[in-house]
Amino acid sequence: MQLELKMEQGTLVVRPAGELDLGIAEDFRNALDEVLDQGAVKNLIFNLSRVTFIDSSGLGVMLGRYKRITRTGGQVAVIGPQPQVRRILELSGLFQIMNEFRNEEEALAKIS
């Protein structure tokens, strides 16, 4: 899968691209957990602007990382979901627990 990861002042910025389904769920989860295991990540930002499809497997990976981050007092933010992805996030109730921001800068300023 296509995935960019960037650390900014204790916040891990995650930029996946393409379709977040069962086909990539394991790679996605492992890539994130590898960084989280190092213990330096406080908050997480999911930039979904290049994600064209998501289903319960992609959501499951996001929610699992949310649980890890919030256990240590961190926050998780979402940026830029395309309309079809936004609908799935809304239906799943994910926006009730993750704040959405207009862009990465705004998210970094608000949660760091």
Partner 1 sequence: MQLINQMKVEFLSIPANVAFARVAVASFASQLDYTLSDMEEIKVAVSEAVSNAIIHGYENASDKFVRVVASLTKNALQISVEDDGRGIEDIKQALQPAFSTNPERMGLGFVFMQSFMDSFQVDSAPGCGTRVKMVKKVSTLVEQGSQVSPEH
Ligand X SMILES: Nc1ncnc2c1ncn2[C@@H]1O[C@H](COP(=O)(O)OP(=O)(O)OP(=O)(O)O)[C@@H](O)[C@H]1O
Taking the complex as a whole, the smallest distance from the CB of residue 12 to partner 1 amounts, in Å, to 20
Binding-site partner at residue 88 among ligand X, partner 1, none, CB < 5 to 8 Å by type: partner 1
Tokens of 49: 């602007």
Site for ligand X in 58-77 (CB under 6 A): 60
Q: What b/e string do you get for 40-72 counting C-beta neighbours within 10 Å, with b at 16 or more?
A: ebbbbbbbbeebeebeebbbbbbbebbebbeee
Taking phi first (over 0 means left), then psi (-120 to 50 degrees means alpha), and beta for anything else, what does residue 51 get?
beta
Site for partner 1 in 18-77 (CB under 8 A): 19, 21-23, 25-26, 53, 55-57, 59-60, 63-64
What pairs with residue 7 in β-bridges? 12
Taking the complex as a whole, the smallest distance from the CB of residue 87 to partner 1 amounts, in Å, to 8
- Between 40 and 91, whose beta carbon lies closer to ligand X? 91
- C-alpha 55/C-alpha 69 separation (Å) is 22
Chain residues binding partner 1 by CB under 8 A are 19, 21-23, 25-26, 53, 55-57, 59-60, 63-64, 84, 87-88, 91-92
Q: Which residues bind ligand X (CB under 6 A)?
A: 56-57, 60
